[in-house]
Structure 1
Amino acid sequence: MAVVNYQTMTIIQRLFLLRTVAIVIQFLTVLIVYFVMSLQIALLPLMVVIIVESLFHFLSIMVFRRRDAGNAAIVFQLVADVIFLTVLLSLSGGATNAFVSLLLLPIVIAAVSLPAGYLLFISLSAIASYSILLLTLPEHTMHNMDMSNHFIGMWANFLLSVLVVTFVVGAMARVITNRERAIALQREDQLKSEQLLALGVASAQVTHQVATPLANIQLLYEELVEDYPDHEAVLAMAQPLAACTDQLGYFRSLATSIRENKKAQLSVAELLEELVDQMHFHFPEQTLSIIQHEEIHAMIESDAMLLPALLNLIQNAIRANQENKEHEITLTVTQINHELSLQIRDFGLGIEANMNQAQRAVLGDQMVASESGLGMAVFLSNSTFHRLGGKLKLINHNEQGCIALVTLPLLLENTMADS
């Protein structure tokens, strides 16, 4: 037999569990009051209301068995509970019923489960129900027992309880929810930091292991140049070896900058110029078209990883172009308020069709397995942008290709002056 953990249940499942218990208690209470305590109550109408409530409860369970319940659905269920409870109370004494305070339960559930607007609606519904029960009391009950002041006092006490639950409990629930959300975000950031640290350690190990063999190959190459200076194979080795040596030195300088947490201010024009230079040097077969309607005279905060992060996105765009035999990449540069927007668009086939919606949603925030890899380059780029106060979003273009939307904060004049 499967055991359901209350902590892992959804809001609608908890609501259904509480209503099941409430229906059982209502049924037993009516039977005990009528048959054991021998009090004169409207047995048949009460049983009809409980049966209708049970049918509604069963249909609700069937509807939301395989469907997620939003806030509107939960509000509808709570309003139904208020209505059923109001009808039961009206058939068993109305505002004089000792269980009239049960109208607070839907408010408590809404306080810990719903936003403030929905909570206010449920609170007003419960107040309206209690008021109707009070106003529909028979005149002889109010007159003969001379209890009108007492019933009005009970109503005022209920109103005060509603206000306390709505504002105090609701505020405390929102504080707890915000705190849990902040803790979850902190855990995600810690997990990302651990993943980045693992990647950094692995990269450093690979660099260290590659450095010695590369130095040996360089020595052998120099000997070959002395013995066979005009050989085609020896001449062909020059450029790859130089590129490997340069990349190894560049990685070491990056590691030093990251370790020392060096940051600098870079103008938008300088950033675009470096991107164009790197594009022409590494990918001469591709064309980078920059679309910029007006020049942006502002600075951004940069570190050693900003340019490699943007080049990672450009390299992904080039790979998508090559798969679709295209040779153009567009970079749209705009300023939106105090942010720099960079839209890198390729003309490939778009984000992989085999990725489901959940994988596309976390692409960049996590390493996602795909046919082309684990999304490591996008993950590292997004981490760099996030560290600099920016963000990355990947979307498919309406016509063709994919857009990598990068936003970076622009430095204000007073910030530039202080630094």
Structure 2
Amino acid sequence: MQTDPALSRLLVLRSAAIAVQFIAVMVVYFLFEHQIALLPLLSVILIEAIFQLLSIFAYRKVTKAKPSAVLMQLTADLLFLTILLSLSGGATNAFVSLLLLPIMIAAVSVNAKGLAYTAVLAIAAYSFLLIKMPEHTMHQMQMTHHFIGMWINFVISAIVIAFVIGTLNSTLRAREATIAKAREQQLRHEQLLTLDGAAAQVTHQLATPLANLQLLFEELQEQQADDPIVQEMAKPLAQCKQQLEHFRALSNALRTGETQKVISAQTLQHTIEDAMTLHFPEQSLQWLNDAPQCSILSDAMLLPAILNLLQNAVLANKKNQQNTIEAHWQIDNQQLSLSLRDFGQGFSEQQMSALGGQLMPSKSGMGMAVLLSNVTLERLDGSLTLCNHQQQGAIATVSLKIV
């Protein structure tokens, strides 16, 4: 069975419990010759076995069971166990403490509300068994105070077990989540270091050929100044030169530690407009509102991070024959958000689950740019959120802390 682990363990334990219950009833009745209700007990065990088979059939392919499903199974276990105990001595049965087992299982399988529900149900089951005991039995045996003490002991045990195991389970889950997050961050940092080393090496190797191309271009300008092909070469060479200068400036800032500064939202908007006009003149960036009066933390990588998102938006627009990108500012709880919406085909489910967290092999190149943008924003105490627009396209929301 490819069943949810928590539900699978519960079904295995119930199978073993049914076998033990059947053997115990037969041994007590035939070997110890105790007067027990054999037929009713066997009928309850048979119904429990049928319920077990139906549960196995129903959840045989459920890889992620809902908490309500686990609670339903635990409720059934408490119900069957309570009926069996009531038919074999009630609260005087030596195995009445087995009512604590569903609480232990719930402590490691469900949330706090489900655990509280199971504990209350088990206490109610024990209370029912105690109340249903004949009064003459308690008076004849002079065990009234003893059974009441056992009930109090059961309640205390149930509360302690639920609290201790539930707290330990929550702590372990939080620790596992922290370890998983740290492992993911370490893997991402290793990827970024690899990309950083490769980028530095490629940039260094391209510096000399670009300088030679610049010299050849200047000679061509002197010889064939009116040639349209020579004129078109000016813009890409200028962009390459600008990117190399930006990379050198960034490397120098990283060495000196002067990487972060405070800028206004208006300054960031003007910078984005200039960069958009320079790199994507064929696209129209429409601001739905003006930049608010506030300041944010920035560094040399903030603009490239936003440009990466704009580049992905431009690529999505081109695939859908669109040329408009909408930008919207919003302030919420000391967070400045910039939403960038394209009019492409939106993200697929696979892209939504992986973009920004890992490198994605893609023909369109999407994945690396969003990963780098996400890391840059996290370093500035910000975040990146990706979603699809209800009507058309995708939205990339950059959130930055207001300082």
Same fold flag (TM > 0.5): yes
Aligned partner letter, 1:189: Q
Which of residues 45, 60, 65 is equivalent to 2:60? 65
SS in 2 for 1:331: strand
Aligned residue in 2 for 1:132: 128
Deviation of 1:358 (Å): 4.7
Q: Does 1:286 align with 2:283?
A: yes
Q: How does 1:105-144 map to 2 (within 5 A)?
A: 105-144=101-140
Q: Is it true that 1:40 corresponds to 2:32 in the alignment?
A: no
Choose which of 361, 371, 390 in structure 2 pairs with 1:398. 390
Match of 1:416 in 2: none
User: 1:226 deviation in Å?
Assistant: 5.6
Quote the Cα distance in structure 2 between the aligned partners of 1:358 and 1:84: 44
Counterpart selection for 1:17 from 12, 15, 36: 12
Partner amino acid, structure 2, of 1:138 = P
Alignment correspondent of 2:22: 27
Scaled by the length of structure 2, what TM-score is found? 0.93
**Alpha-carbon separation, structure 2, partners of 1:32 and 1:163:** 34
Match of 1:417 in 2: none
Q: Does residue 305 of structure 1 match 2:301?
A: yes
Q: Is 1:323 aligned with 2:339?
A: no
Q: 1:13 corresponds to which letter in structure 2? A: S
Q: Secondary structure at the match of 1:98?
A: coil
Q: Which residue of 2 aligns with 1:380?
A: 372
Q: Give CA deviations for 1:290-328 in whole Å, capped at 9, x if unaligned.
A: 1126x5221111111111111111111111112222221
- Give the Å deviation of 1:284: 1.6
| 8 A Cα contact 1:301 1:388, kept in partner | yes
Q: Alignment partner of 1:206: what SS?
A: helix
Describe the shift of the 1:405–1:230 C-alpha distance in structure 2 as closer, same or farther (beyond 3 A): closer
Q: Which stretch shifts more, 217-226 or 136-145? A: 217-226
Root-mean-square deviation (CA), in Å? 2.1
Q: Shift of residue 253 of structure 1?
A: 1.9
Whole-angstrom distance in 2 between the partners of 1:188 and 1:372: 24
Q: What residue in structure 2 maps to residue 198 of structure 1?
A: 194
Asked whether the 8 Å contact 2:325–2:340 carries over to 1, the reply is yes
What letter matches 1:265 in structure 2? V
Structure 2, unmatched stretches of 5+, are: none
Render the CA deviation track for 1:100-123: whole Å, top value 9, x for unaligned: 001001101111222111111100
Alpha-carbon distance in 1 for matches of 2:396, 2:32:
73
Q: Which deviations, in whole Å up to 9, do the C-alpha atoms of 1:368-390 show, x marking residues without a partner?
A: 34442351111111111122122
Q: Answer yes or no: is 1:257 the counterpart of 2:253.
A: yes
Q: 2:330 aligns with which of 327, 331, 334?
A: 334
* Distance across 2 between alignment mates of 1:300 and 1:182: 28
Equivalences for residues 402-417 of structure 1 within 5 A: 402-411=394-403
- CA distance in 2 between counterparts of 1:52 and 1:261 reads 73
TM-score (norm: length of structure 1):
0.90
| 1:272 partnered with 2:234 | no
Which AA in structure 1 matches 2:371? Answer: F
CA contact (8 A) 1:258 1:304 kept: no
**150-159 vs 359-368, which moves further:** 359-368
Q: Is the 8 A contact 1:313 1:378 kept in 2?
A: yes
Match of 1:415 in 2: none
Aligned CA distance change for structure 1 residues 101 and 325 (closer, same or farther; 3 Å):
same
Identity across matched positions, percent: 51
**Do 1:288 and 1:329's aligned partners in 2 also have CA atoms closer than 8 Å?**
yes
After superposition, the Cα gap between the structure-2 partners of 1:125 and 1:333, relative to the gap in structure 1 and judged at 3 Å, is: same
User: What is the deviation of 1:155?
Assistant: 0.8
**Matched-pair contact (CA < 8 Å) for 2:312–2:366:** no
Alignment of 1:141-152 (within 5 A): 141-152=137-148
Supply the distance in 2 between the matched residues of 1:296 and 1:256 (Cα, whole angstroms). 32
Which amino acid in 2 is paired with 1:275?
I
Q: Does 1:345 align with 2:348?
A: no
1:209 and 2:168 correspond: no
Structure 1 unaligned spans of 5+: 412-419
